[in-house]
């Protein structure tokens, strides 16, 4: 049901929302995913016209900052991003290091100590605290390879161009590949789960409007809609853990 006029978001103009191609969050190949379902539900509940497009993550953050884009999804905050973006959290998850077995790692610290090893990341992505520290230190040593998407990173890992990459639960279907399981191992960073949410541009949406969209997301959490969406893609126990934060 669309929000009642007055207490719901301002739908006077069409609003823009960008998805990014990333595992179970959104697949450009199938036009399906968690964030697509979240976007559809936001449009239904708000009654607003949402123009949905597909963009690289780095481009999304640029447009959110300038006000050229109203929304995106599954975003992580940081002190820098908080200056130009507001968030409405709807799930949290942990990050892991997926490393080649021939890198001979016992712990994540072993990766940093070996100057011959390179890490692959998606351009403009941030992770959990320990993962971000690793990325930043390796970047200073010119040991980080940036990619525009997930599939390219898996290919680089398979070819040995990189020896590790940072993954999250949305990447699990690719990990089910027997070939990847054969040559890789997973190491946990040990950080607390990181909240992800609806990204709202401070340049294009007033604080009042941000609050209305945040209330919509919170209502989707309260009535179980977000959990039901996650259960389409994950086993019930994992889905429940990710939306309970």
What tens-digit pLDDT sequence spans the chain (245 residues)?
444 445 899 999 999 999 999 999 999 999 999 999 999 999 999 999 999 999 999 999 999 999 999 999 999 999 999 999 999 999 999 999 999 999 999 999 999 999 999 999 999 999 999 999 999 999 999 999 999 888 899 999 999 999 999 999 999 887 777 688 889 999 999 999 999 999 999 999 999 999 999 999 999 999 999 999 999 999 999 999 999 98
Whether 114 and 179 map to the same domain: the answer is yes
- Is the same domain home to 149 and 102? yes
Note whether 152 and 202 are same-domain residues. Answer: no
User: Rounded to whole angstroms, how far apart are CA atoms 90 and 242?
Assistant: 9
> Do 109 and 128 lie in a common domain?
yes
Domain shared by 150 and 233, yes or no:
no
Residue 8 in any domain: the answer is no
Domain that holds residue 113: 96-188
- Are 175 and 213 in the same domain? no
What per-residue confidence (pLDDT) applies to 177? 72
* CATH for 34: 3.40.190.10
Same domain, 127 and 76: no
> Do the domain assignments include residue 2?
no
For 178, half-sphere exposure in the C-beta direction (CA atoms, 13 angstrom radius) is 0
Q: CB atoms < 10 A from the CB of 73, how many?
A: 25
């Amino acid at each position: 049901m669309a929000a009642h006029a007055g207490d719901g978001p301002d739908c006077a103009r069409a609003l823009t929302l960008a998805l990014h191609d990333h595992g179970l969050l959104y697949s450009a190949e199938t036009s399906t995913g968690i964030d697509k379902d979240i976007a559809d539900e936001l449009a239904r509940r708000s009654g607003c016209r949402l123009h949905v497009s597909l963009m690289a993550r780095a481009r999304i953050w640029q447009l959110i900052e300038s006000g050229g884009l109203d929304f995106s999804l599954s975003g992580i905050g940081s002190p820098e991003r908080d200056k130009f973006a507001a968030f409405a959290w709807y799930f949290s998850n942990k990050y892991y290091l997926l490393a080649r077995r021939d890198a001979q790692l016992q712990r994540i610290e072993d990766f940093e100590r070996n100057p011959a090893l390179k890490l692959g990341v998606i351009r403009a992505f941030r992770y959990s605290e320990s993962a971000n520290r690793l990325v930043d230190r390796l970047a200073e040593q010119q040991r980080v390879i940036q990619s525009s998407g997930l599939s390219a990173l898996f290919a680089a890992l398979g070819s040995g161009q990189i020896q590790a990459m940072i993954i999250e639960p949305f990447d699990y279907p690719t990990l089910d590949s027997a070939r990847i399981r054969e040559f890789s191992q997973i190491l946990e960073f040990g950080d607390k789960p990181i909240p992800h949410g609806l990204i709202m541009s401070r340049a294009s949406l007033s604080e009042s409007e941000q609050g209305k969209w945040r209330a919509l997301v919170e209502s989707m959490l309260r009535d179980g809609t977000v959990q039901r969406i996650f259960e389409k893609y994950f086993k019930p126990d994992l889905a429940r853990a990710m939306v309970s934060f």
